[in-house]
């Protein structure tokens, strides 16, 4: 009689749903999973002291090898302002019919540098700190926010020099100087939001950091840093759409707000229409939108 051999049926791998139920039953969760948005905000708030300390440490170390040390925090924007004054103010004569042109120019350079430096630092916030990202578990948005905070701290150092320049050129101290505080808060929110956007882009495509200086230079030339947007847009030479884009350019909005706050010869009629609404809208759009955009890729940073 022939003997029939019975082979046992192959063992089936557990279904994904079974594994998920087993993990949930034992309190396991996905490693590196993206937290919910409220949880993410809470994690960032819990690490607010780290964000502040990290920004301060980066600022302190920035010029630690230079002989003049932290003096370069003020010298860099001042030297840029001197170059722009010679090229645009003297050679191209953009200072014509612009009262208090030196305070006008220096204010524009300082405020623009704040935005420019925040965005440039943001492009490398993740790609330039992969060791930290891969070694420690923390909300990655802490990095671009801390870099924007670092640039705010640097701007505050520069503001001391700006006050000296304003007084030296006869600009009086006025109650309107207090408007600089809400203007800087809105600009910081905008800068941090854009920094988070470019941080996510730079994490995936590091070449963004090479392209960004050209984009920022173009943006600077249309932001009224060295010339008055109000005087260019007064006539009927420009199409209405171009005029509107120049006036509502976020960099120009924050620059003009700071000029209005600090320089008594810069009057309200020189501001773009609904300037505070525009400044608040840009801050909310970039701040909230940039934060959500960055959070959506949280689990991908440092991988690959």
Whether the pLDDT of residue 10 is over 80: the answer is no
> Token pair 């420009």 is at which residue?
238
- List of residues 6+ apart from 129 with CB closer than 8 A: 143
Give 207-260 pLDDT, tens digit per residue: 888 999 999 999 999 999 988 888 888 776 788 888 899 999 999 999 999 999
Domain ranges of the chain: 36-298
Give 128-155 pLDDT, tens digit per residue: 888 888 888 889 999 999 999 999 998 9
Give the closest residue to 169 by CA, choosing from 254, 256, 71, 85.
85
CB atoms within 10 A of CB 20: 13
CB atoms within 10 A of CB 297: 16
Is the CA virtual torsion 231, 233, 236, 237 positive or negative? positive
Give the closest residue to 182 by CA, choosing from 100, 105, 253, 122.
253
pLDDT greater at residue 293 or residue 165: 293
Whether the pLDDT of residue 23 is over 60: the answer is no
- List of residues 6+ apart from 292 with CB closer than 8 A: 37
Is the CA virtual torsion 94, 98, 99, 104 positive or negative? negative
Mean predicted confidence (pLDDT) in 25-39: 71
Confidence of residue 6 (pLDDT cuts 50, 70, 90): low
Write down the pTM of the prediction: 0.85
Do the beta carbons of residue 274 and residue 189 sit within 8 Å? no
The pLDDT value recorded for residue 98 is 84
Give 271-291 pLDDT, tens digit per residue: 988 999 999 999 999 999 999
Give 59-115 pLDDT, tens digit per residue: 888 766 665 656 777 777 778 788 888 887 778 777 777 888 999 999 999 999 999
Q: How far apart are CA 47 and CA 200, in angstroms?
A: 20
Give 200-213 pLDDT, tens digit per residue: 999 988 888 899 99
List, as one string, the DSSP characters of 198-219: HHHHHHH-TTHHHHHHHHHHHH
Query: In 3-state terms, what secondary structure has residue 187?
Result: helix
Whether the pLDDT of residue 165 is over 70: the answer is yes
């Amino acid at each position: 009689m022939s003997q029939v051999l019975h082979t046992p049926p192959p063992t089936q791998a557990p279904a994904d749903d079974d594994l998920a139920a087993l993990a949930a039953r034992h309190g396991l969760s996905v490693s590196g999973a993206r937290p919910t948005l409220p949880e993410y905000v809470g994690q960032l708030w819990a690490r607010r002291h780290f964000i502040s300390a990290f920004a301060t440490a980066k600022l302190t170390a920035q010029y630690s090898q230079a002989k003049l040390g932290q003096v370069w925090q003020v010298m860099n924007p001042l030297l840029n302002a001197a170059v722009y004054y010679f090229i645009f103010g003297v050679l191209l004569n953009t200072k014509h019919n612009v009262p208090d042109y030196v305070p006008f120019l220096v204010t524009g350079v300082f405020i623009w540098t704040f935005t420019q430096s925040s965005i440039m630092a943001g492009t490398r916030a993740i790609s330039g700190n992969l060791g930290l990202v891969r070694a420690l578990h923390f909300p990655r948005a802490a990095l671009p926010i801390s870099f924007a905070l670092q640039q705010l701290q640097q701007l505050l150092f520069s503001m001391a020099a700006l006050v000296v320049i304003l007084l030296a050129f006869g600009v009086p101290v006025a109650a309107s100087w207090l408007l600089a505080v809400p203007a800087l808060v809105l600009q910081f929110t905008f800068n941090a939001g854009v920094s988070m956007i470019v941080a996510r882009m730079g994490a995936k495509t590091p070449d963004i950091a090479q392209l960004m200086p050209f984009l920022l230079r173009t943006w600077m030339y249309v932001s009224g840093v060295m010339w008055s947007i109000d005087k260019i847009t007064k006539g009927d030479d420009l199409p209405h759409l171009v005029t509107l884009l120049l006036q509502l350019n976020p960099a120009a909005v924050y620059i003009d707000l700071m000029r209005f706050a600090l320089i008594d010869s810069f009057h309200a009629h020189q501001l773009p229409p609904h300037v505070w609404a525009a400044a608040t809208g840009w801050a909310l759009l970039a701040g909230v939108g940039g934060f959500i955009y960055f959070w959506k890729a949280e689990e991908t940073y440092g991988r690959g």
